[in-house]
A and B are shown apart, each in its own frame.
Chain A
Amino acid sequence: MIEAEPDFFRRYGIYSGHFSSDIMPLVPPGASKLTFVRHPAALLRSTYHLLRNFTVNGHDANLDHDGKFASKFCIANTFETFLESSDPRLLPYTRNPQTRILGFGNSYDPARVHDPALLAAAKERLSGFQFVGITERYPEALRLFQSHYLRTPIRRFYFRNASPGSLLQGASAHVQELVVEICALDLDLYAHGCALFDQCIAASEGFHGVPAAKASPLPRSKV
């Protein structure tokens, strides 16, 4: 595809989507790779609510067979049960999803979801990114992005994350234990992402002079 269209990467300045590391060999050298990582406990809770809402809001027709099962499971069960379940149809959602996507792409290999080699690969890839944002530190992440990439600062944006930090608050001790057990690689990857983020801020000239963008509530027409 890329060979057939050698000018593909000259056509646009920005590419965005649910790419995984599978695509990495096709990204031209020198391109800026950006991503966000999120605390696994918050990401899992967000996934749980997303799956529930697919059916609640009547959008489950967009899901594949396993996705429909996962959605119905989340409606019928608690968040804790969702995490505890070892049903193979749920594991892609609950076992180290961030490490999996960065480590070996979208292909799902149940035998490797806790493989330390996967974590090493994901960390190496993350270290090669020019920008790693932290969902829990969104305003800071935007300022960092602006300081590196934009001519003019972003003044306002619509914040689609309903609860970037609060999903971490109030998590029971049992949930915290479960997350450590089932997403140990993601926790390690998240800590690595936070370290990269802090390094990037420390190395950024002018970061502290960049004004913070203000989050606006989503207009009704967009909800």
Chain B
Amino acid sequence: MPVLRRIAEKYWELHRRYIGLSSLQLAERVRLPLVFFHIPRTGGITFHEILTRIAAPGGSARHLPATKRFAI
């Protein structure tokens, strides 16, 4: 469990630093958050940008860099 906890802490630390998307335009039925698991090289950057626009029209958010995935 400590290993999982460390991984989780690392994720959320990166997450907090890079990703903060408030949700403004989600349908009413979405009461709980959306969590997008971006598998590298699957077109997720495009989808991430769409999510960013949904969350904050005209805004932007930095994406977790792909190179971090083996460093965690």
Contacts and interface: CB of A to CB of B under 8 A. Distances in A.
Contacts of A14: 21, 23, 26, 33-34, 36, 51, 54-55
A152 B27 CA distance: 8
A49 B70 CA distance: 18
Q: 4 closest Cβ contacts across the A-B interface?
A: A13-B23, A14-B21, A17-B64, A16-B36
Instruction: Identify whether the interface residues of A are mostly helix, strand, loop, or mixed.
Output: mixed
A151 B27 contact: yes
Interface in A25-84: 25-28, 30-38, 43, 46-47, 50, 62-64, 66-67
A18 interface: yes
Interface in A81-135: 92, 97-98, 101-102, 105-106, 108, 129, 133, 135
B72 A16 contact: no
B42 A15 contact: no
Contact of A35 (B25, B37, B45, B64): B37
A142 interface: yes
Given A14-B54, A106-B69, A19 B11 contact: yes
Given A18-B66, A64-B70, A149 B26 contact: yes
B28 A1 contact: no
A84 to B, nearest CB: 19
Contacts of B13: 1
A46 B53 CA distance: 25
Interface of B: 4-5, 7-9, 11-15, 18-28, 30-55, 61, 63-72
B23 to A, nearest CB: 2
Contacts of A98: 39, 42
Contacts of B45: 160
A35 B36 CA distance: 6
B46 to A, nearest CB: 5
A152 B39 contact: no
B26 A13 contact: yes
B42 A43 contact: yes
16 contacts: A14-B34, A16-B52, A16-B63, A17-B36, A17-B38, A20-B37, A22-B7, A31-B32, A43-B42, A47-B40, A129-B37, A133-B47, A138-B43, A150-B25, A154-B53, A160-B45
